[in-house]
Every structure is written in C-alpha cells, then in structure tokens.
Amino acid sequence: MYSCSQCEKSFSSPNGLHGHKNIHTGKYKCTECDKCFESSNALAVHRRSHSGQKPFECTVCSKRFTQAGNLVSHSRIHSGDKPYKCHMCDKAFSVSGHLNDHMRVHTGEKPYKCSLCNKSFSHSCSLQRHKRCLHSNRRPYQCSYCGKMFKTNREVRLHVRVHTGAKPHSCRHCSERFMWFGQLKRHLLESHNEGTWLTCHICQKKFIHSGHFKVHILRHEGVKPYVCSECPKRFYTSSNLKRHQLVHSDVRGFGCGLCAKSFKYKQYVVIHFKRCASRLGFSDM
C-alpha cells in the first residue's frame, strides 16, 4: 500500500500515488476546489467539470464528455471493442483500468482499506460503497421529480430515467433504444445474434451475465463456497453471505434520509422511508 501523506487515499502502486500527489503539489491550482495540476492544459480540462462544458460528443447516442479519452472509452460500448485482455482467463475489457481491477480476482490483492473499521477491498468503488452503506446514513441527493433521496449523484441520474423515459443505449443494427445497458446486450443477442450466450450444459438455460451463469452452475452442483465465519451456514453467493452476516452484527447500514432511524436490511428502510415521507407531508416517493 502506498498512502498519501496529505489525505487518506491509498494506492496499490507508486505510480498511482505519484499521479495523485499532483492534486496537492502541482503549480496550477483550481480556484473552485483547490486541486492542483502539473500543466495548464490539465487544469483547463479539469475546469470543464465545474463549468459543465463537454465538447466531445458521441456520434451514436449523443452523450457528451469533458475529455477526448473518455469519449474513446465510451465509444467501445457501441462498437463492442475490448482490447484489454486478461492473460489468466478469457475475459476482456474496454477500459484498461477495468482490467487492472479484474486482475485482483486472480491475485487476491485488496489494497483499499476502510479507515473506520480496517476492512479491506479489491476495488476503490467497493470501499466507497462500503462507507456509504455501513458508515453513513446521509442521502444528500434528491430526485427533482419525486423527491426520493439517494446517497450518490450517479444513483439520482440513473433513477431520473424512470421519470423521463430516456433511453441512452441504442442498437447499431436497428432503431431500437434502451434505458439500461443490460437490455441492449440482451437485444443484441436475441435479435442480431451478436455476442455469446452462456448455456448451462445440464438444463440448457441461457444467460447473458457470467456471474448469474456461475451461480446457476453452483446450484446444480450443490456447491456453496461462501462460509459464514460466525456459524456453519454456507451460501451460493457473496451477497447472500453478507446479508446473512448482519444477523451476527449490530451494524445498521441502511439509514432513513428524513430521520435518524437506521436498519439492518434495505427492504425495511424502504418501507419506513415511505411512511416517514408521508408523515412529514412530502409528496409520494
């Protein structure tokens, strides 16, 4: 682990730490957020995140980006190009960073540690999700259509599609458009025979996602690889194990955004949130 001496961030390589330090030591400083950069060009690109300027537009779905590199990576969603291949398995990725993250599945490396409970994670997004779910009850982002509260701005953006009917994922073979990428992937397989179905050799059931396929095979074989450290119970998936482990924990990771109450399980806070919103006079959420 390579830790920044000026903030809590940690990195799995010295190059990652070196690149991060520019935020603190670069001679070109952003007047909006105090981040620093080594060059005026890097600062100019960064300023677009504050101004909302996105000069690079996708010719397929019209989505816009602040940097040309982000547009190039995004375009692979439409082309299906995955140039970054894992040398230990058959998986390929459209972004080099995703391959780097994937390699930790093989190495077992967990470089991201929670500063509050010392739990370690393979990916930074897993650490961030852990902190939001277990160590914070804040839901500062609100849907302007229905008032529903969310923990991240990304969750709000995805949720808003339910109200607007936006369908940003378009098929390159026909005029069909889809709200979610998974819907597009299924459409390409079913309608245009593009991609590869994952077929169970026992019951011939077909899957799109490798994760769902692997769990399905485990159920046929009766294998439950995830074992609770507190009791003898075993589970097919890590998510089922995590849910079960709440039985042994006092952690209440799901908090109401309108009051101070918190709950162990998501479905309980959903029920409570609706009642709480109604009691406080908010519109239907």
pLDDT tens for 183-226 read: 898 899 889 988 888 899 999 998 888 888 888 998 998 888 88
CA distance 184 to 182: 5
pLDDT tens for 122-156 read: 777 777 777 766 666 677 778 888 877 787 778 88
Burial of 184 (0-12, 13-18, 19+ CB in 10 A): buried
| pLDDT surpassing 50 at residue 285 | no
Q: What's the full length of the chain, in residues?
A: 285
What is the 8-class DSSP label of residue 283?
A: P
Domain residue ranges in the chain: 1-53
| pLDDT surpassing 80 at residue 21 | no
Confidence band of 7 (pLDDT split at 50, 70, 90): low
Q: What is the mean pLDDT of the chain?
A: 81
pLDDT tens for 36-78 read: 777 788 888 888 878 778 888 988 888 888 888 888 888 888 8
Alpha-carbon distance values, 22 to 7, 8, 40, 43, 238 (Å): 13, 15, 13, 11, 37
Positive/negative CA dihedral, 151, 105, 75, 167: negative
What is the predicted pLDDT for the residue at 177?
93
Instruction: Pick the more confident residue, 284 or 33.
Output: 33
Confidence band of 283 (pLDDT split at 50, 70, 90): low
CA distance 235 to 215: 10
- Determine how β-strand 10-11 pairs with β-strand 2-3: antiparallel
| pLDDT surpassing 50 at residue 172 | yes
Fold exhibited by the domain 1-53 = Double Stranded RNA Binding Domain (3.30.160)
Token pair 């982000």 is at which residue? 70
| pLDDT surpassing 70 at residue 120 | yes
